[in-house]
Amino acid sequence: MSWWRRGVIYQVYPRSFQDGDGDGVGDLAGLRRRLPYLAELGIDAVWLSPVFPSPMADFGYDVADYCGIDPLFGDLDQFDALAAEARALGLKLVMDFVPNHTSERHPWFLESLASRENPRRDWYVWRDPAPGGGPPNNWLSSFGGPAWTYHPASGQYYLHSYLREQPDLNWRNPRVRAAMYDVLRFWMRRGVDGFRVDVLWRLIKDAQFRDDPVNPAWTPERPQEERLLPLFSADQAEVHDVVAELRQVVDEFPDRVLIGEIYLPLERLVTYYGRDLAGAHLPFNFLLLETAWRADAVAALVEAYEAALPDGGWPNWVLSNHDRVRVSGRAGERQARVAAMLLTTLRGTPTLYYGDELGLGRVPVPAEAVQDPWGKNEPAFGRDPSRTPMQWDVSINAGFSMAEPWLPLSADWRTRNIMTAGDDPGSLLNLYRRLLALRRERPALHAGGWAPLAVAGEVFAFERRAGAERLVVALNFGAEPQRLHRPDLAGARVLLSTAGRDEGATLAEPDLRLAPDEGVILEPVG
Ligand code: GLC
């Protein structure tokens, strides 16, 4: 069974994990120091958000050189040392790959700007103004405002699905594809185990550049970008040829993984596994980020996802990332324990986000400290509260940096940190450690089948089975005690409880009683 099926992925947002050189921003030297922590936590692979040279308009998602390391984070030697140390600890290393757009300072874009005749002009998406003047069509940038910026010197507009500092590459141009595939080879030769591909579903746009239709369901609480339905600006049929090509390149090297960032409804998402599974190994499943935190809603989601997967398509689950409100902020701190159990016991590869093991929530960032460009345009959607520094110990700045961190720590860092949580047997951190250890040990959890057992009140129960091994997971999504009548579970052994009940105890009654916010993993007898 391949490592990316069996294993657990952990996302590191490098600016915020560990500062090694005392400038208040995390870097590769800092991450190297913390690799033993990650190995001991029990994860299998680190996915590193972008560390490439970048003007940092979008904090690294605006790449100016795909084959280097930004001096803020280190250099290629530092990277090689990181890769070697990760390998020695048995950890895989997954890099971010940002193909949809470059930085406006990328040499390719500078050439593209130079003139309409420049050989690299067509590496980006240029269009004439609309007949009466103005942008070529109505497409919107994800961060607010139009997706087109006018370039007076050449009299055309260029497309940017994100910031104007992030011009979109033209993936219909075979030269762009070839150059970008060489980037993947460059990193795989350096020992990288795979890629998380940024905004994979947006790489190809409508060949005719038709207007996106108005979204009748938009309300002012939603992001500006959702005023339109991205019918023509994203998720085009031809993108699947690109996905298949990316997969072929990744398959040139043994045992690598291709993960795609895809925000689409379930039926569209699963098409990214590709025909005959020749697409992404793991189209990221973000559906938990958007589902109401209730037993019935989550149960319905899991069933629908399991049913929609193509034959042989391997599932995956994500609870938090650097773009969305953390799970503890969405579901509440008590339910973060239930969420941890859900994430690590569902069928498929889990991705953890750094800091979720501390229960970090929505860390308040005062207006004057806001860094995120989206947060500057649309404060309600600012991503800084999910990107604050990791809290390691009780020393200065929580052990993150000797200097003032680039984003504030959460106010309770003196009690909420890895050192303090490590000493508390009942902490969320230690719950994660036990869950990850159990998951690794039990084939039913890392490889077995999944079947629903019950949805009753606030309880969602399911089973995992591999050969003769059968485990039952029962989760209480509510703050009230729950009781589930299951005579078949009488005598079952408790392997793990989020609420600290004795492990190894057996259930004496025909009723399974769950404490408020409790999840349990049981091993039924016989
Ligand atoms: C992806 C990244 C996000 C970034 C955007 C533009 O959604 O996860 O952080 O801002 O792409 O690159």
pLDDT tens across 429-470, in order?
A: 999 999 999 999 999 999 999 999 999 999 999 999 999 999
Q: Which of 15, 58, 140, 387 to mutate to test the pocket of ligand 1 (most atoms within 8 A of CB)?
A: 58
What is the rounded average pLDDT of the residues 34-51? 98
Question: What kind of fold does domain 3-100+192-437 have according to CATH?
Answer: TIM Barrel (3.20.20)
- Measured in Å, residue 322 CA sits from the centre of ligand 1 at 9
Mark whether 206 is an active-site residue. no
Domains in the chain: boundaries: 3-100+192-437, 449-523
- Asked whether 10 lines ligand 1 (CB < 6 A), one says no
Residue having the nearest C-alpha atom to atom 12 of ligand 1: 61
Nearest CA-CA partner of 398 in 408, 385, 386, 387: 408
- Asked whether 199 lines ligand 1 (CB < 6 A), one says yes
pLDDT digits (tens, 9 = 90+) for 63-86: 999 999 999 999 999 999 999 999
Measured in whole angstroms, the distance separating CA 214 from the mean position of its chain's CA atoms is 29
Residue type, 518: E
pLDDT, position 347: 98
- Asked whether 47 lines ligand 1 (CB < 6 A), one says no
Vertex 100: Cα angle to 95 and 104 (nearest 5):
100
Please give the helix or strand (H or E) that residue 465 lies within, else none.
Answer: strand 459-466
What is the rounded average pLDDT of the residues 193-203? 98
Neighbours of 204 (CB within 10 A): 21
**Counting atoms of ligand 1 from 1, which one is nearest the CA of 100?**
12
- Asked whether 353 lines ligand 1 (CB < 6 A), one says no
Confidence of residue 303 (pLDDT cuts 50, 70, 90): very high
Q: Which of 252, 412, 480, 509 is catalytic?
A: 252
**Counting atoms of ligand 1 from 1, which one is nearest the CA of 321?**
8
pLDDT digits (tens, 9 = 90+) for 337-366: 999 999 999 999 999 999 999 999 999 999
Residue having the nearest C-alpha atom to atom 7 of ligand 1: 199
Confidence of residue 500 (pLDDT cuts 50, 70, 90): confident
Task: State the DSSP string of 53-98.
Answer: S---TTTTSS-S-TTS--TTT--HHHHHHHHHHHHHTT-EEEEEE-
CA gap 70, 72 in Å, rounded: 5
- Asked whether 57 lines ligand 1 (CB < 6 A), one says no
- Measured in Å, residue 462 CA sits from the centre of ligand 1 at 34
Q: Which of 27, 44, 58, 198 is catalytic?
A: 198
Return the structure tokens found at 42.
Answer: 């029990």
Mark whether 198 is an active-site residue. yes
- Percentage of the chain surpassing pLDDT 70? 100
In this structure, is the dihedral angle defined by the CA atoms of residues 495, 498, 499 and 500, taken in order, positive or negative?
Answer: positive
- CA of 349: how far to CAs of 10, 183, 189, in Å? 11, 26, 25
Q: Which of 97, 169, 323 to mutate to test the pocket of ligand 1 (most atoms within 8 A of CB)?
A: 323
CA gap 310, 465 in Å, rounded: 20
pLDDT, position 357: 98
435 backbone dihedrals φ, ψ, rounded to 5°:
-60, -45
Would the pLDDT of 526 be above 80?
A: no
- Measured in Å, residue 258 CA sits from the centre of ligand 1 at 17
pLDDT digits (tens, 9 = 90+) for 276-288: 999 999 999 999 9
- Asked whether 198 lines ligand 1 (CB < 6 A), one says yes
- Asked whether 59 lines ligand 1 (CB < 6 A), one says no
- Measured in Å, residue 94 CA sits from the centre of ligand 1 at 16
- Asked whether 44 lines ligand 1 (CB < 6 A), one says no
* Residue found by looking up tokens 């309880």 in the block: 459
pLDDT digits (tens, 9 = 90+) for 159-170: 999 999 999 999
CATH of 449-523, one of 2.60.40.1180, 1.20.1250.20, 3.40.640.10, 3.40.710.10: 2.60.40.1180
Q: Which of 106, 162, 202, 372 to mutate to test the pocket of ligand 1 (most atoms within 8 A of CB)?
A: 162
- Asked whether 62 lines ligand 1 (CB < 6 A), one says no
- Asked whether 61 lines ligand 1 (CB < 6 A), one says yes
pLDDT, the chain, mean: 97
* Residue found by looking up tokens 């080879």 in the block: 185
**Counting atoms of ligand 1 from 1, which one is nearest the CA of 263?**
7
Q: What is the 3-state secondary structure (H, E, C) of 175-232?
A: HHHHHHHHHHHHHHHCCCCEEEECCHHHCCCCCCCCCCCECCCCCCCCCHHHHECCCC
